[in-house]
Amino acid sequence: MAPRYRVTLTDEERSKLETISSKGKRAARTVLYARALLLLDVGEPGPRWTVVKVAESLGVTTRSLEHLKKRFVEEGFTAAITRKKRVKPPRKIQFGREFEVHLLALACSPAPEGHERWTVRLLAEKMVELKMVSSVSLMTVCNTLKKTNVSLT
């Protein structure tokens, strides 16, 4: 069965890939993909390695090489070696610096009546009661206190 995507590099693309794989500082993945494309080239000057042989020599899976070949053929040279831009923006920080400040101030304040000291559950409930946040898990409170080296004991 013939390979679905064939990588045929032009002389210009070949020289760019050789430069990327041998000179300067670049992301390891970019260098790895550049080497893979050079080895997968089926053009006249290319070494004509099989996907399995390239995968073994570079320490990647054959599936990732097939995806690389597909990106090169369908999207072009730069899309194949550069990292894809994130489609979905990163999540908004829900519990930022302001949350930490209020939590620490609360944890350092005197414990509520009827309690000897603050507990993680009491802190979480008080943060919701004070409308600092709409809801907060106990683990978020616990991890925030741990991150800031605050002990409730």
Question: What global pTM score does this model have?
Answer: 0.58
Residue 2 is predicted with a pLDDT of 53
Instruction: Look at residue 1 in the predicted model and tell me its pLDDT.
Output: 46
pLDDT band at residue 85 using 50, 70 and 90 as cut-offs: confident
Percent over 70 (pLDDT), the chain? 97
- As a whole number, the mean pLDDT across the chain is 88
> Does 57 have pLDDT greater than 90?
yes
2 against 130, higher pLDDT: 130
Residues 93-105 pLDDT 10s: 788 889 999 999 9
Q: What is the DSSP string of the chain?
A: ---SS-B---HHHHHHHHHHHHSS---HHHHHHHHHHHHHB-STTS----HHHHHHHHT--HHHHHHHHHHHHHH-HHHHHSPPPPSSPPPPPSS-HHHHHHHHHHHHSPPPTT-SS--HHHHHHHHHHTTS-S---HHHHHHHHHHTT----
Average pLDDT rounded to a whole number, residues 39-58: 86
